[in-house]
Amino acid sequence: MFMIQEKVITWFLACRTTDVPQNGGVCVKYQDEQIALFNFSRRGEWYATQNLCPHRMQMALSRGMIGTQNDEPKVACPFHKKTFSLASGKCLSGDDCGDIKTYPVKIENDLVYIGVEDNE
Amino acid sequence: MKIVVIGNGMVGYKFCEKLTAKAQPGQFEIVVFGEETRPAYDRVHLSEYFAGKTADDLTMAGLDWYAEKNIRLYLGDPISYIDRDNKTVRSHHGINESYDYLILATGSAAFVPPIPGVEKEGVFIYRTIEDLELMTAYAKKAKVGAVIGGGLLGLEAAKAMIDLGVTNTHVIEFAPRLMPRQIDEAGSNILKTKLESLGLSIHTSKNTSEILGDQFITGMQFTDDTKLDVDMLVISAGIKPRDELAKLAGLETGHRGGIVVNDKLGTADPFIFAIGECALHNGMIYGLVAPGYEMAEVVATNLMGGDKSFTGFDMSTKLKLIGVDVASFGDPFVAASEGKTIVLEDSMKGIYKRINVSPDGKYLLGGILIGDAEAYNMLLQTTKNKVVLPPNPEDVILGARGGSGNEGGAGVLSLPDDALICSCESVSKGDICGAVCDGNETMDAIKKCTKAGTGCGGCVPMVKDLITHTLKSQGKYVRNVICEHFNYSRQELYDLVKVHKLMTFDEVLDKLGTGDGCELCKPPVASILASLWNEMILAKGNDTAQDSNDRFLANIQKGGTYSVVPRIPGGEITPEKLIVIGEVAKKYNLYTKITGGQRIDLFGAHVNDLPAIWSELIAAGFESGHAYGKALRTVKSCVGSTWCRFGLHDSVSFAIRIEERYRGLRAPHKLKSAVSGCIRECAEAQSKDFGIIATEKGWNLYVCGNGGSKPQHALLLATDLDSETCIKYIDRFLMFYIKTADPLTRTATWLNKMEGGIDYLRNVVVNDSLGIGEQLEAEMQTLVDNYKCEWKEAVENPEIRKRFTHFVNAPEAKDPSIQFEPMREQKKAKEWK
């Protein structure tokens, strides 16, 4: 038998689609959280992850460069070029600096919504 | 079984390497005693010590290698006594070791002829790194130098003198010609003319009778009653085998030195072998490294139970003497009765080639090459492998090879598989091609797995040819491609982007690449676009292809704040502007520091504040310093002739002119420059990518220097230039670098990888050998004319300006995670984890 846990996702309005540069990222403030939001326009995809790079605990991933590695979308931290999968949050740099949290993103009427979990 | 090796020179080391490679771990206990305090180093390339190589670079293997191989190494502790009856040795420091087999690899010492006065200060020998260090210290006060010995070692020593700055150097040779053992008289004359044109004075048939001076050398007296005033003398007149220990142990030594050995390199004592320059085989001392290595191979093989003999060695040699190729192979002096000789002499170009052909014209017996030795490896292999010559044997020296890779390759391919390519390490053509097929597709990989090219390095071009041709024959073509999205090298990409007139990263990716790009290809493509078109780098579509620093036109620092560096050309600044910097720093609470490039760095700026900070700086007349870009950083200057009592020219004005010309220039890596007003070199121009030093007659231009992690002195490109010519050469140099260097390659590394090195670069820049000089200048002029301050454009463009926020949904808010700590009345970033 599986335990079924109730997860409630709350969608909050982050910004307009035009606020995010093409193939680039911005940082979104949600309460006390910092979320990196990426507009991967070349693939027509949107991603959101934590803004904190776990390597040196720097709030910087939103300023990182995005791209792909064997078709896996990724972001490279501007500090030391640690790379993380945008899809799974896994660290791709082959060392154990840790994985990052990802968030769902949806676009409605040129507005960007990010989903956060309320574990209650 | 216990082996004791006496001597830790190149051959002694090679013996250890070969034996440990063949043996099972633990099969031998190996103990090595060395007289010098350093582990074995590459004596063949000793003169490169002056060209920037360090003692570490020259080391054959570090101490950890000996530890890893379980070899006990005693340095600075020569053996003073061998007890053959009890099979033990005793070292100078009193260490006793027993042995089953003893290997003498004691090498040789410089031969110092018994001339009265050789003990005076300022007289040196040229043999060890310590000798070089002594010479270096003394050369600082020497103006005129001399070298006794016009052979191979003597000319190396003369090069060392020139490298040390003693450009007025005399070479004194007792014989009637230079390099009497390797080349004939006609070749020697060409070599002499060439060396004289480079500033050396050559005296042949000259015999030194006395060294003059009281405590220090002041001159030399010759037997022909002439005299020469010199401040410094290096004696490099040959070698003397170090056989004193063997002699003391009662082993047979030769008349003129050397430990007598048989074809197994064994002495009269069945437990003692001698290898390298101390061994006298068949009446011959082998003063080259390759035969020494072969001796090490023979002894190591036989200790493993094999059966190898040493039966003499080919003494062919190729070297570059002060920029002049000299090679001699096979039998260079065939007598008329034993063969025919073909000679090509071009005294205009300083080229001399001689080949000796068998009487039937079918085989090559040997020859001499001066001035152009490109064909050396081919000719040597043709000789050794008895390859049948073409119907007109002169074709082999009359440029049939020409220098084009294809023809050269065809030559390599014609060799049999057992042809020896690397004679230092005995690696055959078959070994190399086999290794390439096994996946070792680069020169480094081949060096690692076969050791080919790790000795004298003479075979490297041939090995490269073999790699290329083996790969081609497998249908492979290997290039230094950028990443998985672009199957091109940076140079190819540069040309393609230019030809297709591509303006944005996406256009380049669509046309020339695959996939979606990544952090490896975006910055180099963005840099190429900037170098080609010099458009605002944050223009739409290219902003997110810029490295983070370029994207925010500032350097990201610890904690996530940015630094601000306004341009201060030449380091000259008015009091008014200094006050503005101070006021801006106070207003935005910035940490200030003077940089190494003579400007002021303002740290700790929030990304939101950057546009406001720059607006104030621009209003006061500042512009971007490009400290964040792979671009020209600063042109440092000393104060020059306007104030300095030594200054020859106005270095500050010239530095400002240079900095303003190349400001904003995007390149494969950052560029630094400096201008010094005299040879005291206060601006440290010789550590820069391009540096300029004033002379009595104009400017000397140095290129490809580097500070950084691997410091390298800049090399002199051209001398006594007027300002216009100097700028013309810099234009050409920088454009050539921008067009051909790999991403993130500084000029120093670029030059180190360039085939032909500084001579080739000088040919391209100064002599315009590729005929692209005017084109390079025109391309540079376009970039100079297109320059705009990108910070000015950024603050004036609302679209760009709005990107300078931390939170997209709270533009006024600053990153609350940023924290500072106080330090010495200013602040610093909070230490990260």
Task: Please report the pLDDT score of residue B406 as a whole number.
Answer: 34
Among B482, B546, B548, most A C-beta atoms within 10 A, so best to mutate, is B548
- Say if residues B424 and B456 touch (Cβ distance below 8 Å): yes
What letter would DSSP give residue B157?
A: H
B671 falls in which pLDDT band (50, 70, 90)?
A: very high
Residue B236: C-alpha distances to residues B8, B125, B160, B202, B731 (Å): 22, 6, 12, 15, 43
Task: Please report the pLDDT score of residue B4 as a whole number.
Answer: 96
DSSP-derived secondary structure for B379-417: HHHHHHTTPPPPSSGGGGTTTSSTT-HHHHHHHHHTS-T
Beta bridge partners of B813: none
Task: Please report the pLDDT score of residue B300 as a whole number.
Answer: 94
Per-residue model confidence as pLDDT tens digits over B142-170: 899 999 998 888 888 888 888 888 888 99
Q: Which residue type occupies B509?
A: L
Measured between CA atoms, the residue of chain B closest to residue A71 is: B515
Task: Please report the pLDDT score of residue B500 as a whole number.
Answer: 84
Q: Tell me the mean pLDDT in the region B33-62.
A: 82
Starting at the edge strand that comes first in sequence, how are the strands of the sheet with A65-69 ordered? A65-69, A72-76, A83-85
**At which residue do the structure tokens 């090509």 appear?**
B344
**At which residue do the structure tokens 């700028």 appear?**
B727
* Min Cα–Cα distance to chain B from A56, Å: 6
Q: Angle, to 10 degrees, between the axis of helix B443-450 and the axis of helix B429-437?
A: 120
Residues 70-129 of B with CB under 8 A from A: none
Per-residue model confidence as pLDDT tens digits over B533-553: 877 788 767 888 888 788 889
Task: Please report the pLDDT score of residue A5 as a whole number.
Answer: 57
Q: Determine, for residues B813 and A19 on separate chains, whether the beta-carbon distance falls below 8 Å.
A: no
Residue of B528, B525, B560 whose CA lies nearest to B544: B525
Total-model pTM = 0.52
Task: Please report the pLDDT score of residue B588 as a whole number.
Answer: 94
Beta bridge partners of B73: B32
Show the domains of chain A with their CATH numbers.
Answer: 19-118 (2.102.10.10)
Q: Which residue type occupies B438?
A: D
Residues 472-531 of B with CB under 8 A from A: 484-485, 506, 509, 515-523
Question: In B493-588, at which residue ranges do the beta strands (DSSP E only) sit?
Answer: 555-556, 562-564
For residue B556, pLDDT over 60 is answered with: yes
Per CB-CB distance under 8 Å, the chain A contacts of B522 are 65, 67
Q: Tell me the mean pLDDT in the region B84-97.
A: 93
Helix segments in B691-810, DSSP class H? 723-740, 747-753, 757-765, 773-785, 790-796, 798-801
Q: Tell me the mean pLDDT in the region B715-730.
A: 94
Sign of CA dihedral B783, B789, B795, B801: positive
Task: Please report the pLDDT score of residue B742 as a whole number.
Answer: 82
For residue B564, pLDDT over 50 is answered with: yes
Residues lower than pLDDT 70 in chain A: 1-7, 94-96, 118-120
Q: Determine, for residues B484 and A69 on separate chains, whether the beta-carbon distance falls below 8 Å.
A: yes
Average pLDDT score, chain B = 87
Q: Determine, for residues B807 and A65 on separate chains, whether the beta-carbon distance falls below 8 Å.
A: no
Q: Tell me the mean pLDDT in the region B510-517.
A: 90
Q: Which residue type occupies B696?
A: E
Residue B93: count other Cβ atoms within 10 Å of its Cβ. Answer: 11
Per CB-CB distance under 8 Å, the chain B contacts of A29 are 807, 809-810, 813
- Say if residues A36 and A50 touch (Cβ distance below 8 Å): yes
Q: What is the rounded distance in angstroms from the CA atom of residue B683 to the CA atom of residue B673? A: 9
| B2-108+241-303 and B123-237 in the same fold | yes
For residue B705, pLDDT over 90 is answered with: yes
Which range is most confident: B75-89, B186-200, B303-317? B75-89
Pairing of the two strands B144-148 and B168-172:
parallel
Residues 782-821 of B with CB under 8 A from A: 803, 806-810, 813, 815, 817-818
Domain locations in chain B as residue ranges: 2-108+241-303, 123-237, 632-802
Which structure tokens are listed for B257? Answer: 């030195």
Task: Please report the pLDDT score of residue B784 as a whole number.
Answer: 92
Percentage of chain B surpassing pLDDT 90? 43
Sign of CA dihedral B175, B179, B185, B191: negative
Which structure tokens are listed for B544? Answer: 């997110």
Per CB-CB distance under 8 Å, the chain A contacts of B809 are 14-15, 28-29
* Min Cα–Cα distance to chain A from B486, Å: 12
In this structure, the dihedral spanned by the alpha carbons of residues A53, A54, A59 and A60, taken in order and rounded to 10 degrees, is: -20
Residue B676: count other Cβ atoms within 10 Å of its Cβ. Answer: 28
* Min Cα–Cα distance to chain B from A6, Å: 30
Fold of the B2-108+241-303 domain: FAD/NAD(P)-binding domain (3.50.50)
Q: Determine, for residues B556 and A63 on separate chains, whether the beta-carbon distance falls below 8 Å.
A: yes
Query: CATH number of the domain at B632-802, out of 3.40.50.620, 3.30.413.10, 3.40.50.300, 3.20.20.140?
Result: 3.30.413.10
3-state secondary structure B738-761: HHHCCCCCCHHHHHHHCCCHHHHH
As to burial, measured by CB atoms within 10 angstroms (0-12 exposed, 13-18 middle, 19+ buried), residue B248 is exposed
Q: What is the rounded distance in angstroms from the CA atom of residue B244 to the CA atom of residue B106? A: 10
Residue B246: C-alpha distances to residues B111, B154, B243, B256, B260 (Å): 18, 28, 5, 14, 10
* Min Cα–Cα distance to chain A from B562, Å: 12
Length of chain A: 120
Measured between CA atoms, the residue of chain A closest to residue B521 is: A67
For residue B524, pLDDT over 70 is answered with: yes
- Say if residues B808 and B548 touch (Cβ distance below 8 Å): no
Q: What is the rounded distance in angstroms from the CA atom of residue B754 to the CA atom of residue B757? A: 5
Q: What is the rounded distance in angstroms from the CA atom of residue B127 to the CA atom of residue B242? A: 13
* Min Cα–Cα distance to chain B from A21, Å: 7
Percentage of chain B surpassing pLDDT 70? 96
Per-residue model confidence as pLDDT tens digits over B403-434: 333 333 345 666 778 777 887 788 888 899 88
B402 falls in which pLDDT band (50, 70, 90)?
A: very low
- Say if residues B281 and B265 touch (Cβ distance below 8 Å): yes
The helix/strand/coil state of A27 is strand
Q: Tell me the mean pLDDT in the region B697-707.
A: 93
Per-residue model confidence as pLDDT tens digits over B197-207: 878 899 999 99
- Say if residues B490 and B498 touch (Cβ distance below 8 Å): no
Who wins on pLDDT, A75 or B786? A75
Q: Which of A42, A65, A68 sits opposite B548 (nearest CB)?
A: A65
Which structure tokens are listed for B110? Answer: 């410089």
B400 falls in which pLDDT band (50, 70, 90)?
A: very low
Beta bridge partners of B41: B59
* Cβ partners under 8 Å of residue B575, min gap 6: none
Which structure tokens are listed for B346? Answer: 């071009």
Chain A residues with CB-CB distance to B under 8 A?
A: 14-15, 19-24, 26-29, 34, 37, 40, 42-43, 56-60, 63-71, 73-74, 76, 78-79, 81, 83
Per-residue model confidence as pLDDT tens digits over B370-394: 888 878 888 888 888 777 777 777 7
Q: What is the rounded distance in angstroms from the CA atom of residue B793 to the CA atom of residue B775? A: 29
For residue B363, pLDDT over 70 is answered with: yes
Residue of B287, B365, B370 whose CA lies nearest to B330: B365
Lowest mean pLDDT among A41-50, B455-464, B761-770: B455-464
For residue B287, pLDDT over 90 is answered with: no
Task: Please report the pLDDT score of residue A4 as a whole number.
Answer: 56
DSSP-derived secondary structure for A55-80: TTTEE-GGGSEEEEETTEEEEE-TTT
Q: Determine, for residues A65 and B547 on separate chains, whether the beta-carbon distance falls below 8 Å.
A: yes
Task: Please report the pLDDT score of residue B3 as a whole number.
Answer: 95
Task: Please report the pLDDT score of residue A75 as a whole number.
Answer: 95
Q: Which of B541, B548, B817 sits opposite A64 (nearest CB)?
A: B548
Fold of the B123-237 domain: FAD/NAD(P)-binding domain (3.50.50)
* Min Cα–Cα distance to chain A from B239, Å: 54
